[in-house]
Chain A
Amino acid sequence: MDPSRAAASTASSGRPRDGVGPPPDFPAGLRVLVVDDDPTCLKILDRMLRKCLYDVTTCTRAAAALAMLRERRGAFDVVLSDVYMPDMDGFKLLEHIGLEMDLPVIMMSADDGRDVVMKGVTHGACDYLIKPVRMEALRNIWQHVVRKRRNELKELEHSGSAEENDRQKRALEDGDNASSASEGNWKNVKRRKDGKEEEEVEEREDPSTLKKPRVVWSVDLHQQFVAAVNQLGVDKAVPKKILELMKVPRLTRENVASHLQKYRLYLRRLSVPQHEARLDTPYTGASEATFRSVGSFDGLDTQALAVSGQFPPQSLTTLHSGPRRVTTTGIGLPSIDQVGFFNSSAQMANASNIRPAMMQQMNNKQLNFLSGPSTNMESGQHGQSQQLVESYGNMGLRVGEGASGFFNLPSSQRTSTSFPGGTINVNLSNSLPMQMTQQGQQFSVCQQQNRIHISMPRQLQTREQLLNEILGEYDSRLSTPMGHQILSNEVSGHVSGRGRSNMNVRTSLREGYMNASSYGPLSHALYADFSNSGMNESTGSCYPLASGAGTTNFTSIGMLQEALPPVGNVETLGNSVSVKGANDFVPDYDLLSDVRQSKSQDWKSQNIDVSYQSAQQLGSKQSNIDFGSSRLAHEDSIAAIKDDKSRNACTVRKEIFSVRTEIEHEKGDCTAQRNGTILVENSLRVMAEGMSDLSYQEVLFDDNIIQNELMNVVGKKQQEGVGQVDPEFNFDGYSWDDIQV
C-alpha cells in the first residue's frame, strides 16, 4: 500500500465527473482529500478511507491542498482536514475552501474541547471528528456530501429557475457523482441539464463558488426574449409578461427580470453617441461586465492594470466615467452592453467574489480563476468577468470585457486585469490612441500570457468564443448566444486581429460573458472576445476583429475561426459577424447601433450561435478571452495580443478594440463605421505594423471595409498567427477555415 502521499496527493482515479450520474455503488468512489501534517495519521486515514472504497488523495500541507483544490475544481467531493497544522491553521483552510469551493469539510483533531469544536462549527465545518479517528466515523462522511448537495439544490430551486437548478445540479452532479442520494434526482437534473445547457460549456459551475444558479441565455432563448420584449414594447415589457410570452419552462420571473434589466442597459448603451461612446464605452460596456469582475478585482485588476501601467486607473475610471455604459466598472466593455452588462453586473457582484478567487489566481497567474470564477460567473456576468479575470489571471490580461484587459496587459501580464472586457475598454475609451497603444502594449503583454481572458461580454462572446477558441481554451463561456453574436462580431473583428493571440484569453470568461450579454450587440462582445482571443494569440491571429460587427468582423471571425477552431462558432462568428448581430451591424458600425437595436436579436441568433458555440467549444480554452471589453477591448486586446506576437497584432487589436469598444457600446455605434473605415485601413496597416494606427480601430469596425481588409489582414495574420498561436492557444493552428464550429 502506498499510504501517505505526503504532499504528493496523488489522486486516485476518481470517478469521472461528467455528471453521468451517481455511481451505483455510492458512496464508494467518493473523492476525498485528506490534509494532515502528520504522516502517520495520514497513512492511517488513507488506509481507512480506501477500505471504505473511497478515492483518496492525501496532502501534508494545507497550501498544497488548496492549490490542488483550485486546480482541479470539482475533483473532490469532500475534504478532511486536521485542525492543527504547522503551515496553516486548519480553520483557515476551512474558510478558504468554503469561500472558493464550497466543498464539505470535515475537521479532525485530538482536541475535543468544546471551544475548538465550536470553532469548527462556526467556521463552517460539516463535521468534527476526534482523533484517533475510527473507521466507523469515516464510513459515514459521505452523508455530508449528499446533504450539502441537497441543500444546494434546494437553494437553487428556491432562487432560480429550473435552469439554474439544472445548472446547479449539474454542477453538483459533476462535482459529486456520488452525491445524489437519489438517482432520480440526479437524472432529473441531468436531463434538464442536457436539455438546457447544451450551449453552456461545461461550466465549471462550482456550486461552491456560485451559489446562485445561473441561467444561460442561449441565443435562442435570448431571441425569444427579445421577440417577446419587442412584442410588448421595450418600455412596456415587464418580466411577467415576457415570461408568459416566452413560454419557456423553468424560466423564472427573476431570470427574466434580470435579463431584461441588462437588456435595457444594453439598449441604452447602444444609443449612446457613437463615436465617443463607442470608443469609450465599448470597452467599458463590455468591459464593464468584465471589468466588473475586474473591478471587483479592483484589487487585482487595478493592480494588474496598474501593472500594465496603462490602464488601470484610466481604464477603470474611464470606464466608470464614460457614458459608456461602462456602468459597471468602467472597465466593462461598453460595447458589450449586454454582454458587458452581464459581465458587469455579474462582475461587479461577482467580481468581488472573483476577486478573492481571482486574486489568488491572478496571483498565481493562473487562469484557474477562470475556471473557478467561471463558476462564479454563474451569475452570468460574473462569470464573464471571471472568465476575464481568470483569463487574465493567467494572462493577467483579462481582456475581459473590454479589451481593456488587454491593454492593461502591460507586460506585467499579471494584470490579471480582470478587465474582462471592462478593462480593456478603459484603455480604449480613454483614447483610442491610448488604448491602442495600451493595447498594443498590452498585447505584448497579452502575448506573454496569451491568456488574456477576453471576457467579452456576451456580445462579444461570439467573438469571444472565437477568440476563445482561438485561444484554445475557450471556455465556451461565450455560450451565451448573445455573447456569441457579439462576440462573433467582435470576434470577427477581433479575431481577425487576434487570431489566436487573443484567444489566449480564456474564453472561459466567455461563458460568463456570453450568457450575460447575449444581448444583441454581440458584436461588441465578439470583438472583445476576439480581441481577446485573438490577442492572445496575437501572433497573427490578431486580426482586427474590428471587422466589427459583422462584416468586418468576419475577418476577425476568420481569424477567430482560425483561432477558435474548436469553437466552431468562430466560424460562425465570422459569418455571424457579418451578420452580426443584426445585420445592421455588419455594414458599418453605424449599423452597429442599428444593429444593436434591431439586430441585437439577429445578432444574437447569429452571433450567439456562433459565438456561443464557439465559445462553448472553446470552452475554457482560453476563454479567458475576456471579451468583455466589447469589441474594442478585443481589438485592443487583439491588437495587444498580436503585438505580443507581433506588434502588429497589437495595433490591430487596438483598433479592434477601439472598434470594438465602439461596437460594443452601441454595437452599432457609428463609430464603428468610422472605425470601420479607418480600421479597415488601419487594420490592414495595423496588422502589418502592429498597432500603430488607432484609426485602425475605426477601420476595423467598419464592417464592410474592415471586413475585407481585415480579412486580408487577418488572413495574413492569421496565418502567421495561427502558426504562432498554436503553441499558445490550444487551438491547433487555427486557420480560418479550420475553425469550424
Chain B
Amino acid sequence: MEHSSSQSQVAYMKKSLVDQGYLDEQFYQLEELQDEASPNFVEEVVTLFFSDSSRLVASIEQALEKSPQDFHRLDSIMHQLKDSTLSIGALRVKNECTRFREYCDEEDLQGCQGSFQKVKREHAILKQKLEAYFQLLRQIGPAGATRPGN
C-alpha cells in the first residue's frame, strides 16, 4: 500500500518532470539500465552529472567575466556541458545550452550572458527536482525504486 502509493508518487513525479520538459526520454533509458547489479545507477549518474556540470558552469562563469571574452573557449565548455545534459536527458538545460552556443557563435556577449543565466537557473532547478526525486525513491526503498516506466 505504501509501496504502491510511493511508487505511484515516484512515477508521478517522474512523469511531471518529463512533461514539464525537465527531463526527456533519455532519462527512461537510464532507468532501464538500472538493475540488480547496479541498483543505484540512475542516482549515481545524476550525481556525477551534477558534480561535473557544476564545475563546467563555474568555469563558464569565470570565462564570461574575463574580458576580452574568449568565445571559442566558452563555446567549448558549453559543448561539454551540453553533451552531459544530453546523456542524462536534462532537456531544458540542454536547450539553454544550445542557445548559449548560438550566442557564442555570434559573439554576442549580451546574449551569452543572458543565456548563461538561464542555463544556470535551469541547472539549479533540475538539480533540486532530481534530488527530491531520489529522496522519494530512497524512501520507497529498493523495491520500488527501480521501476522504469512506472
Contacts and interface: CB of A to CB of B under 8 A. Distances in A.
Interface stretch (B7-15, B77-85, B117-125, B131-139): B77-85
Given A1-B37, A1-B41, A38 B32 contact: no
B109 interface: no
B38 interface: yes
A48 B45 contact: no
Contacts of A84: 79-80, 83
Interface in B50-102: 52-53, 76, 79-80, 82-84, 86-89
Interface in A472-528: none
A40 B29 contact: no
B79 A44 contact: no
B86 A132 contact: yes
Contacts of A48: 33
A1 to B, nearest CB: 4
Nearest to A111: B79
Contact of A40 (B35, B38, B45): B45
A41 B80 CA distance: 10
Contacts of B30: 44
A82 to B, nearest CB: 8
A132 B26 contact: yes
Given A41-B83, A47-B41, A132 B29 contact: yes
A68 to B, nearest CB: 22
Given A4-B48, A40-B48, A47-B38, A110 B83 contact: yes
Nearest to A45: B87
B84 A41 contact: yes
Nearest to B38: A1
B147 to A, nearest CB: 17
A40 B41 contact: no
A135 B31 CA distance: 12
Contact of A110 (B33, B38, B86): B86
A1 B45 CA distance: 11
Contact of B80 (A37, A43, A47): A37
A41 B84 CA distance: 6
A40 B27 CA distance: 13
A84 B87 CA distance: 14
Contact of B87 (A38, A51, A135): A38
- Which residue among A4, A44, A135 has the maximum number of chain B CB atoms within 10 Å of its CB? A44
B48 A39 contact: yes
B90 to A, nearest CB: 10
A135 B29 contact: yes
A41 B87 contact: yes
Contacts of B84: 38, 40-41
A16 interface: no
Contacts of B108: none
B82 A3 contact: no
Interface string A637-675: 000000000000000000000000000000000000000
A44 B87 contact: yes
Contacts of B106: none
Q: For chain B, give the interface size range.
A: 20 to 34
B2 to A, nearest CB: 28
Contact of B52 (A40, A44, A82, A110): A40
A43 B42 CA distance: 10
Nearest to B27: A132
A135 B80 contact: no
A38 B52 contact: yes
Given A38-B83, A132-B26, A44 B32 contact: no
A111 to B, nearest CB: 9
Nearest to B47: A40
A233 interface: no
A3 B52 CA distance: 15
A8 to B, nearest CB: 15
A184 interface: no
Interface residues of A, number: 21
A132 B87 contact: yes
B78 to A, nearest CB: 11
A38 B48 CA distance: 10
Contacts of B52: 38-40
A135 B83 contact: no
Contacts of B76: 86
B29 A38 contact: no
Contact of A134 (B29, B35, B41, B48): B29
A131 interface: yes
Contacts of A132: 26, 29, 86-87, 89
Contacts of A37: 80
Interface string A110-138: 10000000000000000000011011000
A149 to B, nearest CB: 29
Contacts of A134: 29
B105 interface: no
Contacts of A47: 33, 38, 41
A108 to B, nearest CB: 10
Contacts of A110: 82-83, 86
Interface string B104-130: 000000000000000000000000000
**Residue among B29, B79, B86 with most chain A CB within 10 A:** B86
Interface string A28-42: 000000000111110
B33 A135 contact: yes
A48 B79 CA distance: 23
Contact of A131 (B32, B48, B83): B83
A82 B84 CA distance: 12
A347 B84 CA distance: 46
Contacts of B41: 1, 3, 47
Given A1-B44, A3-B44, A84-B79, A40 B88 contact: yes
B45 A44 contact: yes
A41 B86 CA distance: 9
A61 to B, nearest CB: 14
A41 B52 CA distance: 11
Most buried by B among A38, A40, A110, A135: A40
Nearest to B35: A51
Contacts of A86: 76, 80
B72 to A, nearest CB: 12
Contacts of B44: 1, 3, 43
A112 to B, nearest CB: 11
A43 B41 CA distance: 9
Contacts of B45: 3, 40, 43-44
Contacts of A40: 45, 48-49, 52-53, 84, 87-88
A163 to B, nearest CB: 45
A37 B76 CA distance: 12
B145 to A, nearest CB: 15
A40 B93 CA distance: 15
Contacts of A51: 33, 35
Nearest to B85: A40
Nearest to A50: B37
Of B48, B52, B87, B89, chain A has the most CB atoms within 10 Å of the CB of B87
A3 B33 CA distance: 12
B104 to A, nearest CB: 15
11 contacts: A38-B83, A39-B52, A40-B84, A40-B88, A41-B87, A43-B44, A44-B45, A84-B79, A132-B87, A132-B89, A135-B33
The 6 closest A-B CB pairs, nearest first, are A1-B38, A41-B87, A40-B49, A40-B84, A132-B26, A47-B33
Interface of B: 26, 29-30, 32-33, 35, 37-38, 41, 44-45, 48-49, 52-53, 76, 79-80, 82-84, 86-89
Given A1-B41, A84-B80, 7 more contacts: A3-B45, A40-B87, A41-B84, A43-B44, A43-B48, A134-B29, A135-B29
